[in-house]
Amino acid sequence: MLDDVGNNAGLGGADFDDSADADKVGSFRFFFDTQSWEWSDEVARLHGYAPGEVEPTTELLAGHKHPDDRNDFEHLVEEMATNHSVFSSRHRIIDTRGEVHHIMVIGQPIVDESGTPIGTEGFYLDMDGLDSRIVKAQIDHHVNRFRKSQGVIEQTKGMIMFTYRVSADQAFEVLKWRSQVTNVKVSILCRNIIAGSQAISIPDSARHSFDHLLLTAHQDTDTAAPPTDDE
């Protein structure tokens, strides 16, 4: 099952705002294990195909890239499979009629219930004929949404790291473990942890130590030691 972190975009149409023509946007998914692609009807038409006419593949997509942009596309696919991070790419594609389209592609990781990245999803934005302000608004809208969704997990990892004195990887393993044991998605656990943490009372001594750290963080660490209980 796919996690719902940033996963509001179904292939029938992503969560686009109303500032761009619906025919100008479409969604896609790419899965690491099978190296398979899915695309919406809008993306198929953008490449010059009727919905369901062809099965998208890496080779097919690469063949539609402008020759000057093909290396960038191959690098992008490699980045998707290795870094599993939010990305954006601006390049040109050539449809079946030989027409060139200037597009923006924005994507984010797809993760399973344990939080493990299993693919990439995102959207195509056909920038031809669009006002530059609309293009910027679309890009900002979706990048911010992706980052906000990922931020929930990163924030919770930071809380676990601070509380238990563990690394980022170890903190994520804790979240994966709780997800597997409880059969609850990582993103839901993180949202619940953040919400529940608001009711936790922090001892004054711990707060005072952090106050000191916050106010002396600009100094050398050797001279910014926290106060002792006697101070």
pLDDT tens readout for residues 16-42: 343 444 457 788 999 988 989 999 999
146 in Cβ contact with 86 (< 8 Å): yes
**Per-residue confidence at 218, pLDDT binned at 50, 70, 90?**
confident
Tell me the C-alpha distance between 42 and 49, whole Å: 9
Q: What is the pTM of this model?
A: 0.53
- Helical axes 132-164 vs 168-182, angle rounded to 10°: 90
36-39 sheet: strands from edge to edge: 36-39, 25-31, 117-126, 100-111, 87-94
Residue 57, pLDDT > 80, answer yes
Residue 160 phi/psi, 5-degree rounding, is -70, -40
Q: How far apart are CA 127 and CA 24, in angstroms?
A: 7
- Say what the pLDDT of residue 142 is: 59
Q: Which residues are bridge partners to 107 per DSSP?
A: 87, 122
* Mean of all residue pLDDT scores within the chain: 78
Q: What is the pLDDT of residues 75-127, one digit of tens each?
A: 888 877 787 777 778 889 999 999 999 888 888 888 776 778 888 888 888 87
Q: Which of 122-131, 152-161, 206-215 has the lowest mean pLDDT?
A: 122-131
Q: What is the per-residue pLDDT for 173?
A: 85
Cα atoms in the Cβ-side hemisphere of radius 13 Å centred on 124: 26
Mean pLDDT within 38-62: 93
Residues 142-171 have a mean pLDDT of 80
**Other CB atoms within 10 A of residue 62 CB:** 14
- Please tell me what DSSP assigns to residue 13: B
CA distance 182 to 230: 44
